[in-house]
Structures are given as structure tokens and as C-alpha cells.
Amino acid sequence: MNQPIPYGRQHITDEDIAAVAEVLRGPFLTQGPHIAAFEAAFAQYIGCRYAVALANGTAALHLSCLALGVTEGTRVITTPITFSASANCVRYCGGEVFFADIDPETALLDVNAVRALLEQHPKGYFAGIIPVDFAGYPVDMAAFRELADEFGLWLLEDSCHAPGASFVDQNGIEHRCGDGSLAELAIFSFHPVKHIAAGEGGMITTNDEALYNHLLRLRTHGITNKPGDFTAPYDNEPERGGWYMQLQELGYNYRLTDMQAALGTSQLKRVDAMMARRQAIAQRYDEAFANSPLSIIVPPKGVSHAYHLYIIQVDDRKELYDFLRARNIMAQVHYIPVHLMPYYQQFGWKPGDFPNAEHYYARCLSLPMFPTLTDDEQDYVIASVKEFVGA
């Protein structure tokens, strides 16, 4: 291939461009009507009651932790196989991050490993869990909900990789990632390589009205201009007019722009088709590598994988990485375990703490996965990988 094939790529259509151009010609660039329209459309797609649009997925994680009460000394459990923001959001609030190992069959946070960690401490020691729908594989949130209820914990689902993914629980009930049926809050990202590309952007979904209203305030500096929310001593100000507002807590400027919301809404209209294409690409990879020396994760019946990433595991990962890059195939690694990052090693985490996560990291490689990947490009990727492994 003469042109590099990236591991991920946004797909921008003429309709997307027209949607953004319409905003640029209108009266609002920041908090205009497209924000609420995007929130409503996304909530309907996910199947939840409320959605709050934000500047990015990291902002969504940060505000979620604040709304859930994370503060100095709050202890929260998450997975080491994730982007660092899934853990950093706890640190932003002064909380303490604890990790538990992954299930090698799924590369997701292992509910049994979390239970073992919880049972090592008295009830009340931990406040919450942040499971991650890694690569687009939906976490069994029903199992985590049962565990969280047993130990009095909240759940924050990091669904940045998995809009549209779902699983069927042991009672035959289908749960879509972030639908509010199992986790107090869930978050999504609209980074260009994600399913919905808004340049940047994020979303929090919930069915909890109180959390929803709190998040709206936190998103805009902690300010409210709704008379019903005003508090003393200013609620009797005699000359209060339409200009009046209250700064009620320390919030942030984490707002999405109207331009990004218009782009996100336009992308959302074809998200099902893009998901179907991702799943078709994954099926072709699965079939091609079924009898090879590679390890691949194939979800069981009842799990609808969103395939943000398609990950193989191979013993000679660095050599394959270099081999593919020499052929203009821009494979990538997702992720270096968070507990091995220098920042987290200062808290005592060290190599060997989570053997499943570390074994996975030593062998993982993400192959090109995006809706506009052509069959010819994928065939080239498959042939190159097979040539390397001798399949």
C-alpha cells in the first residue's frame, strides 16, 4: 500500500460539513440549541433518561467523579487496561485509585478480582468502581451491579469505546452500554477515532435526575440561573432581574460547542450503519485468523461488541509491530497498563501486581478498524499479519 493505513480514522461526509456550516452561519457557536438536540438524540439512542454533553470524555469522567462525591481520600477501583483518564479522574478529585486484574478471556476488569480486593478490606473502605467497556466489549454490568449493591458502592461505566454495544444478562434482559439501568453514570467520548466523531467531545448518561441537574451546574462553572435553584441569602434580592445567577459551587468550563454538537448529531444519524460495518470488519478478521497462532477475543452469543478496536495477541508483538509499520500498516498498542506508568508507581504499584494485565500488554496489537476501511486494505492487513506468523 502506498498510503498508510491507520488503526482508526474519522469519517466526515458532506452532510456533516453542511451541519457544521449551518451553525457557523447562525447566531450561536457555543451553547446554542444544537447542544440540547444532540443530548436528546443521544439519550434516545442509548436508551437513558438524561444526557449531558461536555468538552471531552476526560471532562465527563472528572465531573462524574465530582457528582458521585469523590473527594480527598475516596477510594475507587478500576482496571489497569484502559486509557489513563479512567484512573486520573479520581486523582483530579483527590481520591485514591486502586486497580484489580483483568479477565484474560475478555481483557475486561475481572469482577472476581474486584470481589477479592473488596473482601480484603472492611465494608465502606471503597466508594465505587469504574469498569471500562474496553475496545467496545461491554462489561457485564449486571454482575458489577450485584457486587456494588452488596458492598454499598456506586458504578461509573466508562463506555468511551462502546456506544451501541450491549449484552444480555442471565435473566435474558438486554442492556445497552450507558442506558442507566445498572450504573449511576456512564461516559462516552467523541474523539475522531471513536464511533461518533465531533472533533472532541464527551457525554454523560444517567437515569438519576438529581445527578443530571448537578452535572449541568458543574459543567458551567457551578453557576445556575434557574430561579427554582436559587439559595439564601440572595433569594429575596429585591431588584433581581433576568441577569441574575448564582455561583453555588466550584465548577468548570467543560461545555461543548454548538458546532461540535451539530457534527455529533449528524454522525449519530448513521451510527448504526457504521457499527454494522465495524462488526463486519471484525468478522472478516475473526475468520481469517481462526486457525492461526494468534490469540483473538471473540465475544459469546448475547454480547454485541462495538469494535472501537480490533486487538490480536501475539508473542513477537514488537517484531510484528515493526513489520506492519514497514508496510504502511499503522498498528497500535492499547494500552500500557496504567499501574506501570511512572505517575502511578509513586503510589506503590509495581510490575507483577496484575499478571493478567501485564501478560496481555506484552502481546496486544490493535489492527486497523474503522468504517471506511476497504476490503482491499483489510485483505492487505490480513495477508501481512499471516505472512509474519507463518499462517
CA 17/CA 266 separation, integer angstroms:
9
Q: Which pLDDT belongs to residue 241?
A: 78
Q: Give the phi and the psi of residue 313 in degrees, each rounded to 5.
A: -125, 135
Within this chain, do residues 179 and 149 fall inside the same structural domain, yes or no? yes
Sign of CA dihedral 217, 88, 304, 280: positive
Looking at the 3D structure of the chain, how many domains does it have?
2
* Pair (157, 207) in one structural domain: yes
**Judgement on whether residues 224 and 282 belong to the same structural domain of the protein:** no
Distance CA 41, CA 137 (A): 23
Q: What are 381's three cell numbers?
A: 492487513
Confidence (pLDDT) at 31? 85
- For position 2, what pLDDT does the model report? 83
Q: Measured between alpha carbons, how far is 210 from 53 in angstroms, rounded to an integer?
A: 16
Question: What pLDDT was estimated at residue 240?
Answer: 75
pLDDT for 314: 98
Pair (18, 147) in one structural domain: yes
Please state whether the predicted TM-score (pTM) of the whole model is above 0.95: yes
Q: 163 and 59 share a domain? A: yes
> Which of 208, 238, 268 lies at the terminal end of a domain, its last residue?
268
Residues 172 and 28 placed together within one structural domain of the fold: yes
Q: Which domain holds residue 276?
A: 271-389
> Do residues 373 and 257 share a domain?
no
Helix (H, G, I), strand (E, B) or coil at 220: strand
User: What pLDDT is recorded for position 237?
Assistant: 65
Give the C-alpha distances (Å, rounded to integers) separating 237 from 221, 227, 228. 22, 12, 14
Q: What is the residue type of 226?
A: K
Q: Which residues of 203-228 are buried (b: 16+ CB within 10 A; e: fewer)?
A: bbbbbbeebbbbbbbbbbbbebeeee
Do 52 and 174 share a domain, yes or no? yes
Phi/psi-derived region of residue 6, left when phi > 0, alpha when psi is between -120 and 50, beta in every other case? beta
Instruction: Name residue 318's beta-bridge partners.
Output: none
Are 223 and 280 found together in one domain? no
Tell me, what's the pLDDT at 226?
Answer: 84
User: What's the CATH code of the domain at 286?
Assistant: 3.90.1150.10
- Which of 214, 247, 268 is where one domain is finished? 268
The answer to whether residues 335 and 288 belong to one domain is yes
Grid coordinates belonging to 47: 436508551
Q: Which residues of the chain have pLDDT under 70?
A: 233-239
Sign of CA dihedral 225, 229, 233, 235: positive
Give the end of a domain, one of 248, 268, 288.
268
pLDDT for 185 equals 98
**Separation of alpha carbons 309 and 306, rounded Å:** 8
Q: What pLDDT shows up at residue 236?
A: 64
Residue 23's CATH number = 3.40.640.10
User: What is the identity of the amino acid at 113?
Assistant: A
CA atoms within 13 A on the CB side of 140: 19
